[in-house]
Amino acid sequence: MHRIRCLLGGGSEIGALALEHAGYAARQGMVFYERLEPVDPGSAGVLGQLGGRMIRAGAWEQLGGMVREKELIERRVILPLAQPQLAERLGLVPPRAIVLFGPPGTGKTSFAKGVASRLGWPFVELFPSRLAGESPASLAAALREAFSLVAELDKVVLFIDEVEEIAGARQPRTVSATQGVTNEMLKLIPPFREQDERLLICATNSVRALDSAFLRHGRFDYVIPVGPPDPAARAAIWDRYLAAIPHGMLDMTALVEESRLFTPADIEFAARRTAQHVFERVMFERGAEEATTADIVHAIGQTRRTLTPELVAEFEQDIQDHARV
């Protein structure tokens, strides 16, 4: 059976009678809530100045694999921000700033965008390399200006990748302009944290390169590892990227094993190589359109791994030394 619902404006008795004659039944106890929020024209202009945008709906749900990381971020970060009244009632202060760390290609940027999509907040990414001028002093000034603009937005997920460029470890008893940039960044975080409906996400491939004061309690609520996908995550990521490629029965166990030390980005690239190989086979050899396990294994062999055993060992040590979840 199909269920058909109709919303009727109050005071329309004739309309109500017509619906009842057509077989509709009124549902008692139903209340329709609506809230109108004014759109601040200035906010849209500020978002444009910062190069921000709204991330498409569903970006969080489309993150394939990485179930442990997704669940952790969902519980610790997204839900307290999405349910502020419940959090306040229970004495939970929603997070204002987090660090994501892990080897390159593990999806830290995708997680940040997914969080913005899940919350329905604008996403703004600051690129330290683009902010930098001719001197570290100009970078510090550019950071101040950018954070000042961000403060004008009603809500925002602010993302800074490769944050070690502006928050690197300071050398004791040494004064330099570069350390001035780190000092400036340290000063900008507390005012950012004072505002509701804002989340700062910083990402780094080398958490050990960050200044110790940058990571301390009071600046960042969580320091979350985002590591290489385990076998179950690799299988889920393969499923995601192979869904668009015609194929027959595949030996997924072999694909997962062959792609050890692959990041999600590596798997995406190998899937693209597979599709390219099949495309050329059809174009030039009039061969089969379906990809086989052998096709994909060949593409895996032609893909340079981002990770090495040494990088994985460093990451595991960084979890012991720096993670805070």
User: Rounded distance, CA 142 to CA 149, Å?
Assistant: 11
- Give the class (CATH, top level) of 231-301: mainly alpha
Quick one: fold of 41-228?
Rossmann fold (3.40.50)
The residue among 13 and 127 whose pLDDT is bigger is 127
pTM of the model: 0.82
Residues spanned by CATH 3.40.50.300 within the chain?
41-228
pLDDT in tens, 185-200: 999 999 999 999 999 9
Q: How confident is the model at residue 35 (pLDDT cuts 50, 70, 90)?
A: very low
pLDDT of 254 > 80? The answer is yes
Average pLDDT (246-257) is: 96
pLDDT over 70 percentage in the chain? 83
Average pLDDT (231-236) is: 94
pLDDT in tens, 87-144: 999 999 999 999 999 999 999 999 999 999 999 999 999 988 777 665 666 888 889 9
* Residue 54 near residue 123 (C-beta atoms within 8 A): yes
* Residue 53 near residue 122 (C-beta atoms within 8 A): yes
Residues spanned by CATH 1.10.8.60 within the chain?
231-301
